[in-house]
Structure 1
Amino acid sequence: MIDLRSDTVTKPTPEMLAAMMSASVGDDVFNEDPSINGLQEKAATLFGMEAALFCPSGTMTNQIAISTHVGALEEIIVEKESHIYQYEGGGIFHNSRASVKLVDGINGKMTAKQVLSSINPDDIHKPITRLVSLENTTNRGGGNTYTHQELKDIKQVVKENNLLLHLDGARVFNAIIEEDYTASDLGNIFDSISICLSKGLGCPVGSLLLGSKDFINKAKRIRKVFGGGMRQAGFLAQAGTYALDHHIERLSLDHTLAKNFELTLSKFDFIERVVPVRTNIVIFHLKETISPKEFLEFLKSHGILAVHFGEQAIRFVTHLDLQEDCLARIEEVLNQFS
C-alpha cells in the first residue's frame, strides 16, 4: 500500500524505536521525566527560546497557546484556511471564548498589509485585537512557506500595535529547509511556536509549545486542564529527540519527491491544474467531469491512498515511509485511469 494521505501515517524507524526503548523516564507531572525535560530543553535551545512544553498533539499546543494569549471579548487574526480555524473543532471559541478575524490570503499566507487592515479600532462595538496566528507551512495552501522578510514585516506590524504573534509550525522544519532562515530566527520573531513531531519528522506522537518561561508556566496550567499532563511519556519524547537529531535534513528528500509528483501529475489530461509545490504537500484539481470519490476509489483499488481536499481537489503528502519506486508505480496506475 502506498499511503499518501498524510505525513502522519509514518511508523517509527528501527533506529527511532531503539532510542525510545532506551529512554529514561519518570513522572512528568512532577517534572521528573528526564527524557521529556531533555527534549524540551533541546527544542527551546534550537529555537533560541526560554522554555518548551511537550504535549500529545499539535491541536493541543495551538489551543493552549491561544488560551494563554487570548480571552473573552478579544480577537485573533488568522488566514481563513488555517488549521486552527478549519481543523481544530471550533476550539478557539470553545476554549478561549475569543473571536476570530478571517483573512482571505493567498495559498494560506497573509501579508503584513492584510494584518494591519484587520486590526480593530478602539471601539466598544468590536472585540479587542490581541493575537495574530500564522501557519508555516500552510496545509490547505499546498505546503506554501513564508519568507524571512514576510515574517519580519508582519512582526513589525504586530510590534507597533502591541499585539502577540503565534506560529502554528506543524511543518515548520519543512519551511526551514526551503527558506533562508533558521529555527532561532523564528524564535526571535514569534511570541510562541507550536511544532509537530509526528508529521514530517516521523514520530508516533507528540508536539511542542515554545515560548518564554512565564508563558510556558501559564501554558502548563492549561495543559493540565486539557488533560494533557502525562506520566512516563519519556518513551515518546525520546522519539522526538531522535527526530530532531536525525530527521530534519532528510525532509529535502520529501520535497524533491513532491516536486517530481508535480511534474508527473501535470502530464495527465484529467487533471485541471496542480498547485505549485513548495515542500511536501501536493494538491491537484481534477477536471469537472471527474468524480473525486470515484478517482480515490480507483486509486485505492490499486493500493494507493489519498484524500479529498474539497471540491475537485486531491492531496498527496510525501514522507519518510515512501519507497523510492512509489512515483513510478503511481504513474503506472494513473496511466490506467480513464
Structure 2
Amino acid sequence: MRKSIVLFFTLSILTLLGCSNDPEESSPSRENNGKASEETIQNSVKEEVATKKNVPNFNAFTYNGQRFEIVYFYQNFIDYLEKAKEQPDNLDELYLETVINPLGGGDGQWILQQWGFGTPTRPTLLDKYLQSLIDNHDTIKNLIINALKDSADQLPPGATKYVYVLPANPDDAFTLRRNEGVAGVAWDQNFMTIQIAPPFLKESNLKFAVAHEYHHTVFLENNKLAMEDSLLDFVLIEGKADTFARIIYPDIQTPWSDFSTGKDEIQTWQVLQKNVSSTDSLIKDLFFRGDGVKGLPRWANYKIGNKIMESFIDENTNVSITDWTNMPSDEVLEKSKYSEKH
C-alpha cells in the first residue's frame, strides 16, 4: 500500500511503501481499516492505564462527533531499555524488534531511515526522558487534547486521528533543543507521531506542533503527496500548516517562523522563483537545511511558505481555512500577490 508522510522537522517529503495499519497492541481500539467504533458519549475522555508499571497507555475521546485517540507509546521503550541492559551490544536489533516494528505495523525498517527514528544509543538518558514523560503525563495529555480540540474547532476533520506520543531520541538533542523539545510527523490522514524531549520542551510549542501536524492530516484527507510534487508544493504544505497553527495560537513564536533579515527573504524568494516547478529532491533538501551559497537560511521552506500564506490571508480575508487548505499551490501563490510585492 502506498503511504504518504509529511515531516515536520525532517529533510524532505517522501512517499513510502508499507503497511498503513498498526498492530493491535499499539492502539487497543484501532481497527485494520483505520476506522474507530462510534463513541456514544460526546466530548468525554476515556483513559486506560497499562497494568505493568502503571505506565499511561492511551486516551480516547470524541469531540463534536469526531473520534481521537492519543497513544502513549512508552511501554515499548521500557521493554527496549530492559532488554538493552541484558544485550548492550545488540541495540539496533532490539530497537527494531521492540519499538520500530510495532510502530510500523510489523515491518518498520523504512521508519529507521527517517530523522529522529534511529536507534537510541544512550539508554540511561532515554530512561530519564521516559520517566519525565510519565511523571508529567497529565500536563502532556491535557496540552494535546486541548490542541486537538482547538484544531477541530477551526478545521473539522473527516477521518479518525491517532496521535502517537514517543520520547525523542536523546542522540538528537542538538536539533531538539533548537526545535524547543518537539518533533512531529503526519504519516497519513489518520496517523501522526509526536516525539518529546522533556529537557527542552516548551509547552506552547507542543500545542503548536500538534496543531501543525493535525492540519497535515486533514490536508491529506483530500490531497496526495508524492516525490514529483513541486518545490512550491513543498513550501506551501508547511506554510499552510504553520499558518493554521498560528491562527489558533497567534502568540506562539517558533524558531522557523520568520526570516532573520529582509535580505534572507529576498534571496529565498529569488531561488524559489527560479525553481518553483522543480521536483528535484536536492533543492527541497536545501530549502530545509539551508545553503549559504544560494542565500537560503535554515528552514527556508517554512519561512517563505509562511510569508506567502501571510500575504494570501491579507489579500483574501473571505477565503475559509478549509478552502485554502485544499487550494492548489499555484493558485495560492497567484492570489497571495506575493510576487507583485517582491
TM-score by length of 2: 0.29
Give the number of the structure whose residues are more often helix, by fraction.
2
Of structures 1 and 2, the one scoring higher in RCO (CA 8 A, sep 6+) is 1
TM-score by length of 1: 0.30
